[in-house]
Amino acid sequence: MSRIDAKFAELRAAGRKAFVSYVMAGDPDYATALDLVKGLPEAGVDIIELGLPFTDPMADGSTIQLAGQRALEAGMTLQKTLQMVRDFRAGDDTTPIVLMGYYNPIYSRGVDHFLAEAKEAGIDGLIVVDLPPEEDSELCIPAQAAGLNFIRLATPTTDDKRLPKVLQNTSGFVYYVSITGITGAAAAQSADVGPEVARIKTATDLPVIVGFGIRTPENAQEIASVADGAVVGSAIVSELASGKSVPDVLAFVKSLSDGAHAA
């Protein structure tokens, strides 16, 4: 059982929904980002999504794009991102970490080399947004063989014909993108999300977690009430980008996690 599977089993036993937070590795610098990541579990985060900085993101809005640029300008690399996971694992061996990003840095590193390093560092799952199911042999299947969950995105445009293909070889959980468009572009609405989550759950036993467009504790509670949990990214990254201290950002994260856990 992976850390992700164990976390969802623990949440189910407690009758709680999951709260997942996204932060960009190395934003605005290594030390600050590591302090933030280390504080997330105490702030109520069940699963950490760690963004891998990349020069040409295509699913991210301006908030996440700028965070990636700041991280790259501060010298963040794939190797340093993996080191950040090792540094986190020195004090926390239970909180699941999902690396979220794009295929190019992984391809450049070499898939086999990357997977061995990722597993050793303590990464539990991957979300690689520019690899469709048709390319599963590239990374998805090797990742599963290496003991890493490969988490796929489903969207409002994933119809019943496409859904089985999206769910094929997916593990850990399904990430439902609540809006059409990029991160941080609009607010998620439970009236729209609920029926879509129900539709996905008829086709899989995996938990369905909803992200994109969740910015407030109330919104986190509303969305978590119709899914297995909620993801917040841009709103957290915005707090850090505004110059707030790590403790202040973590207090905001705690308000979001309290909202999701109240669902």
Q: Which of 10, 27, 46, 49 is catalytic?
A: 49
Give the number of other CB atoms < 10 A from CB of residue 33: 27
49 an active-site residue?
yes
Look-up of token digits 């759950």? 201
User: Do the bridges between strand 229-232 and strand 47-51 make them parallel or antiparallel, or are there none, so unpaired?
Assistant: unpaired
CA 49 to chain centre: 3
- Helices 62-73 and 234-241: angle between axes, nearest 10 degrees: 50
Cis peptide before 28 (omega within 30 of 0): yes
Give the number of other CB atoms < 10 A from CB of residue 186: 13
| Contacts (Cβ under 8 Å, ≥6 apart) of 108 | none
Q: Which of 46, 60, 136, 239 is catalytic?
A: 60
87 an active-site residue?
no
- Measure CA of the first residue to CA of the last residue in the chain; give whole Å: 26
Cα–Cα distance measured from residue 116 to residue 184, given in angstroms and rounded to the nearest whole number = 33
Cα–Cα distance measured from residue 166 to residue 56, given in angstroms and rounded to the nearest whole number = 24
Question: Is 56 in contact with 31 (CB distance < 8 Å)?
Answer: no
Which residues pair with residue 128 across a beta bridge?
101
Which residue numbers are catalytic?
Answer: 49, 60
